[in-house]
Structure 1
Amino acid sequence: MSRILKSIRNFFNTTIGFFVLVIILYWITTLVVYNVDFSLGVKGGMQTFLLIVNPIPSGLLLFGIALYFRGKLSYWLMLIIDFLQSTWLFANVLYYREFSDFLSIGIIKGTGDVQNNLGKSMMEILHPADFLIYLDVLVLILLLVFKIIKIDYRPFKYRYAIGITLLSILLMGGEYSLANSDRSGLLTRTFDNNYIVKYLGLNEYAAFNAYQTHQESSTRAKAKASDLNSVKKFINQHQTYPSVKYFGKEKGKNVFIIHLESFQQFLINYKVNGQEVTPNINKFYSDQHTISFDNFYHQVAQGKTSDAEMMLENSLYGLPQGSAMVTYGSQNTFQAAPAILDQKGYSTAVFHGDVPSFWNRDNTYKSWGYQYFFDSNYYKKKASYNVGYGMKDKILFRDSIPYLEKLPQPFYAKMITLTNHYPYELDKQNVSFPALKTGDSTVDPYVQTAHYLDQSFGEFEDYLNKSGLMKNSVIVLYGDHYGISNNHRPAIAKLLNKKSVNNYDLANFQKVPFMIHADNLDGHVDHTYGGEIDVLPTLLHLLGIKNNNMIQFGHDLLGNNPNQIVPFRDGDFVTPQYTKIGGTVYDSKTGQDLKLNKEQQQQVDDIQNYVTSDLSLSDRVIYGDLLRFYHPKGFKPVNRKDYNYKPKNAMEQLDKADKEHKTDLIDQHGGKSTVPMYHTDAPELK
């Protein structure tokens, strides 16, 4: 026995022995992370096998770099590479825990634009056990420091190093062949990063993502006007025409877009201990003048809120990786809602209680044609006014009135709420609702911040009624994305009063509200299936603005025979008949796992082809900046230089507009401010 142990130790005292030890420890660490921290949805023997072996090929390739060097340098390089690999794993664990996705080049490039206030969230996300990811590095260092393993100074033959490199490449090729045989078109058709990681590995995903990013950059340089032909053909083939009943029904009215941060549909009429979480929004949802959609889904990917805004304002999808607003918001040409409405006589503004650079908004909003962007620089700053990602909602709504009442009417105004944002924290003086008791620290306080958001909206709604804006405005409420990710399955099951949840349950759990309120509308709950991509065409038609010459991928949900296919960013979809998640197709009404007959399979294949084309063509528009080649009749291209969001400039512009138009709310009230009409119980303001 002692002879065997001595042989093992002698082996590890060689360069190749230490290399093998590094590979083994790295492999074990990666597998633990795969199974503990990621939800990759592994099914079947092939997927299980590939998940187990996929860290090895890239490990051989990366750590094999050190074998081209000698002595201490070789060992140091292995430790450095191991540390970098551990850091890559560590960063992805934290990111995945919050966003159910992996880091991409787009996200990393945009870190400077989205990092505001992330420190506090990271402290909530971080678990002490996460640092065990670095345990293998520590073990290797200690083995060398205490000379349990000694450095081998003998030169390692180059032909062996080359052999290991070639072996790693060969294994990668075999790995890809097996993966592609189990899921055809893995790297050409999939929109889900989970598949790439579980089949090929986290490093291969990073390499593929880097390749995609490079391709995106070159795509814009190579794009030409004729690339729009297939886009226009697809949109024309699937055009939804407006309904006579609704087209122009709210022509000339103000428009409010109330952005409900992280607000999911299940909150509507949901009770905790017999108490409604969102009584004001519930009442608004069922109002006699509100059309509410109960089969409306968020369609965001890594860009989360920025993806929601991209779809809402442009009827273009967010990107499969990163944020389109961050990566393309400053450089691309858009034909967005603010520019369209500006050219129809509207003034346009955004109200947001955070720094203007978050999600690159200060640049993107110029590309979209927003005249005003009232960001955190416009509001009084006190520590007690902020929580999490910015200004508390009650204070944002109240302190926006001095600017809102000066906007020439009609206006298009978007109010972006923030308080109902992960990690769902509120100071004690604002907590007025009991937490859930699921045992999940992320989920339990969610209803408390949602209740606060509801109170904030109730106060703003009261102001709209008192000031007269309610009668002359279209009020749109929508949830931007999930508040509780699918990673919280046990807690979700408790919320839904189920023992467990499957992918069908999770897909339905990710519904978000969409409501349109106006005095001329006959309120009802509309069961039409739709998503955020459909908001702009629906709204434009209500305002009497035709979009048949615009590049928009959504459909008028109030139109004639709307297309009720809801694509998700990963290529899955929901329709009134089918819900496809991963490789499983469910009956949308019953949730039953369907065994498709030939006719059903053809229907699903046709829908899948539509979804794939829809997403890829939208991506083509963004990647190639194709709208720079498109000049629809009656639309004037946006000139970013026309916009300046500095407070001084904005106030001068408002004063100038007031002298020219005399249509703002103050003028309607005989020159008196409407600020006294606003009442809030925000304790910070007392």
Structure 2
Amino acid sequence: MLLKSYLAWSVVFEDGSSWTTLLKEIPFVLIVFCLIEWLSSKRKLLYYMLSNLLMTSILFAVIMYYKYYGVIVTYFALAQVNQVTEVKSSVFSLLAPYYLFIYTDVVVIAALLIVRRKKLHQINQLFARKANQRFVLSLLSLSVAFCLFNVLPNRASMNEIVKAEQMGILNYEAYAFFASKEDDLVPAEEITQEKIQSLKQTQPPAEPALFGSAKGKNLIIIQMESMQNFLVDLKIDGQEITPNFNQLVKENSYFNHFYQQVGQGNTSDAEYVVNTSMYIPAHGAATQMYAGKELPSLPKLLRASGYDTATFHTNSVEFWNREELYKAVGFDRYYDKAFFGDEDSVFFGSSDEILYKKTAEELSKMEAAEEPFYTQIISMSAHHPYSIPQEKHMIALPERFDHTLVGDYITAQNYADYALGQFVADLKARGIWDNSVIVLYGDHLGLPIYSLNSHEKDLMTEIYGREYTNQDMMNIPFVVVNPGDLSPGRLYEQLGGQVDILPTVANLLGVSVGDQIHFGQDLFNQTYNLLPQRYYLPTGSFLSSEELFVSGSGYDDGKHYPLAGKISTGKGASAEEYDQALQLLKLSDSYVEHLPDWSKNEQK
């Protein structure tokens, strides 16, 4: 168990393992083993094997989860392990063969027991012998004392990775399980838009710019799978990677300091944040935790203004509980795998080419109706691990990109851009483009730093011209195509996040959000911003106008990272902003928890 702990620490923690690993991990193991010795006499060998397998599997899950999300997995996430079968190719791509050595003893012992089945009775008799009970209780007491010494002083740490390192991984997992009671909620009457604006230090202008500039237009939101901002204008050996998206950037409003705000649910979390302008939950995916609520949303807001609403996704609607989410946010209907079929399948369903082709046909029908429409379109072909079929490789990258996650990612994004270009042309040919506001953004990061090997990190350094950082990793593009905007082709450098999309597009459509609680802000009318982060970064982390702040045990030992391309004015992420970010998260959590359940209302 000590060797297994050393393996997990070497993967997860920046400083790796040390002699303190022994004092932080083994006391927990000894508690389990002492309890087996103390409480059982029959089947003791079985209990030892099961406890070994369970603790080993926890350490293995911690390793694999960290390689993608960069966080310490807890039972909240493991409870949703049923989603893994849908993304098994992504999981296997992160699996370094040496990680499997963690199961060596389990496999060897199990094999020996199978081969020596005749001696199994003798082995069980050996294990059935009672150990000295006084010694066992003394060792148990000492181990409990060590565990409490590791856990109790470190409970207040905000950074989950720091907390796990201070407590020990197994201690942290036990702590997370038993300390899972809900935080005290803010009373519903205290959650007001004025309080949110005060914490965000913003005030809506009396006459907002561009208000109603697209009034009566359709709204088409295109969510681009795994698209990061560095792809914009990227050329490799003279080859433009995303030429169609680049053209949209040049001709329309482009926000280059825009950031993801998703969690465990990734793509589905992005759908939730964009359609509600609220933050993801502290634990689990939004679609699992919040889909039963009567959520104020963009579809409901626009339906009240006469809009028809629909969402398009080539995967099954059951994946990440999307059917419940779509009911909660109020889409009139959804189109999923049952509609798109398996034609030209890539990963979970039909390719982006099929997605856009069949969606454009449906949009033509909706355009023919009298009322405008709002549709959200979820692209999927550029999904991790980016191993798209060879016939969809539109470019040939230099040899140094061969057989790398970076090379596969760029190739997949180039194909996704090709399909997007076809969709743009189709919408223009059908007369839909000029009658619509088009919004495009990346749903979440595509290249986690912790998933890259040294060669892949060198490739990212080559692309950026400097080290690839956390703030780069979470930077996604955001483009607004607005026919009513008289100043297209403009670069906006203010900070923004996915939570800001709802109020931004509502302003363009001339729809007021004053009566609907929202945590984002209209990016065309605000320059200062505060973006709390969860999941991919430790609790307490946030983006301010100039910095990414990553919490430590609290604010004082946190780390400050300047945002690329931002000119420092000396106003770094402050302790006041740290407190405000935490308060905003708590307000969002509390507000959603106070909402009624739509399912109960439906039954009534």
Which TM class, normalised by the smaller chain length? 0.7 to 0.9
Contact (CA 8 Å) 2:548, 2:563: kept in 1 or not?
A: yes
Matched, 1:251 2:251: no
- Deviation sequence 1:248-293 (CA, Å, 0-9, x none): 1111110010000000000001112210110000010110xx1100
Deviation at 1:403, TM superposition (A): 2.1
Correspondence 1:626 to 2:594? yes
SS of residue in 2 equivalent to 1:421? coil
Match of 1:326 among 284, 288, 304: 288
1:570-581 equivalence runs, <5 A = 570=538, 571-581=540-550
Asked if the contact 2:528–2:545 (Cα under 8 Å) also holds between the matched residues in 1, the reply is no
Aligned with residue 353 of structure 1, among 293, 311, 314: 314
Give the structure 1 partner of residue 14 of structure 2.
Answer: 41
The question of 1:469 aligning with 2:442 is answered no
Give 5+ residue unaligned stretches, structure 1. Answer: 1-25, 630-636, 643-686
SS across alignment from 2:254: strand
Check 1:176–1:207 CA distance in 2 against 1; reply closer, same or farther (3 A cut). Answer: closer
Please, which moves more after superposition, 76-85 or 162-171?
A: 162-171
Q: Distance in 2 between matches of 1:453 and 1:83?
A: 42
Question: Relative to structure 1, is the Cα distance of residues 257 and 60 closer, same or farther in structure 2, using a 3 angstrom cutoff?
Answer: same
CA deviations on 1:424-480 (whole Å, 9 max, x unpaired) are: 012122111124635663222111110111011101100111111111100000001
SS at match of 1:513: strand
Letter in 2 for 1:485: P
The question of 1:136 aligning with 2:105 is answered yes
1:500–1:65 Cα change, 3 Å: farther
Are 1:199 and 2:166 matched, yes or no? yes
Q: CA separation in 2, counterparts of 1:255 and 1:212?
A: 44
What is the Cα-based RMSD across aligned positions, in Å? 3.1
Distance in 2 (CA, whole Å) between partners of 1:590 and 1:378 is: 43
CA distance in 1, matches of 2:599, 2:104: 54
Question: Is 1:61 aligned to residue 31 of structure 2?
Answer: yes
- Which residue among 111, 130, 136 is the counterpart of 1:161? 136
Q: Determine the structure 1 residue equivalent to 2:503.
A: 537
TM-score, normalised with respect to structure 1: 0.77
TM-fit CA distance, 1:143: 8.5
Q: What is the CA–CA distance in structure 2 between the aligned matches of 1:380 and 1:138, rounded to whole Å?
A: 41
Distance in 2, matches of 1:405 and 1:56, equals 64
Q: Which residue does the alignment assign to 1:519?
A: 483
With 403-412 and 142-151 compared, the bigger mean Cα shift is at 142-151
**Please, which of 531, 536, 551 is the counterpart of residue 566 of structure 1?**
531
Partner of 2:204: 241
State the alpha-carbon separation in 2 of the partners of residues 640 and 285 from structure 1.
44
What's the TM-score, normalizing by structure 2? 0.87
* Amino acid of the structure 2 residue aligned with 1:388: F
- How many residues of Structure 1 are paired with residues of Structure 2 in the alignment? 576
The answer as to 2:494 corresponding to 1:528 is yes
Is structure 2 residue 228 aligned with structure 1 residue 264? yes
CA contact (8 A) 2:5 2:21 kept: no
1:425-444 matches, within 5 Å, as 425-435=387-397, 437-438=400-401, 441-444=404-407
Percent same amino acid at aligned positions? 25
Number of the residue aligned with 1:658 = none
**CA drift at 1:305:** 1.4
Determine if contact 1:101/1:302 at 8 Å carries over to the other structure. no
1:419: Cα distance to partner? 0.4
The answer for unaligned runs of 5 or more in structure 2 is 552-557
Aligned match of 1:105? 75
Correspondence 1:398 to 2:363: no
Counterparts of 1:231 and 1:55 in 2: how far apart (Å)? 45
Q: Does 2:291 correspond to 1:291?
A: no
SS at match of 1:63: helix
Counterpart check, 1:126 vs 2:126: no
Corresponding residue for 1:279?
A: 243
Q: Aligned partners of 1:534 and 1:294: how far apart in 2?
A: 14
| Kept in 1: contact 2:312–2:359 (CA 8 A) | yes
Q: What secondary structure does 2:510 align onto? A: coil
What is the rounded CA distance, in whole Å, between the counterparts of 1:367 and 1:247 in structure 2?
28
Kindly indicate whether the alpha-carbon contact (under 8 Å) linking 2:471 and 2:561 is maintained by their aligned counterparts in 1: no
- How far 1:194 moved relative to its partner? 1.9
For residues 407 and 333 of structure 2, the distance between their equivalents in structure 1, rounded to whole angstroms, comes to 37
Partners of 2:233 and 2:240 within 8 A in 1: yes
Following the alignment from structure 1 to structure 2, what is the Cα–Cα distance between the partners of residues 132 and 72? 30
1:607 to 577, 582, 597: 577
Q: Quick one: structure 1 residues 489 and 574, their matched pair in 2 at CA, closer, same or farther if it must change by over 3 Å?
A: farther
> How far, CA to CA, are the matches of 1:305 and 1:424 in structure 2?
15
Question: Partner of 1:537: helix, strand, or coil?
Answer: helix
Amino acid at match of 1:386: S
AA aligned to 1:124 is S
The amino acid of 2:523's aligned partner reads: L
Partner of 1:548: 514
Tell me the equivalent position of 2:302. Answer: 341
The 1:496/1:448 distance shift into structure 2, 3 A limit, reads: same
Q: What letter corresponds to residue 281 of structure 2 in structure 1?
A: L
- Secondary structure of the residue that 1:55 maps to in structure 2? helix
Q: 1:573 to 1:236 in 2, by over 3 A?
A: closer
Quick one: structure 1 residues 253 and 100, their matched pair in 2 at CA, closer, same or farther if it must change by over 3 Å? same
Task: Answer yes or no: is 1:389 the counterpart of 2:348.
Answer: yes
Change (3 A) 1:589 1:103: closer
SS of the aligned residue for 2:182 comes to helix
Contact (CA 8 Å) 1:104, 1:321: kept in 2 or not?
A: no
In 2, distance between residues paired with 1:99 and 1:256? 29
- Matched to 1:558, the amino acid is F
One-letter identity of the residue aligned with 1:555: Q
Distance 1:545 1:74 in 2: 67
CA distance in 1 between partners of 2:236 and 2:112 (Å): 55
Shift of 1:208: 3.4
- Residue equivalent to 1:77: 47
Secondary structure of 1:586's partner? strand
Deviation at 1:138, TM superposition (A): 4.2
The separation in 2 between residues aligned to 1:56 and 1:108, in whole angstroms, is 23
Q: Which residue of 2 aligns with 1:677?
A: none
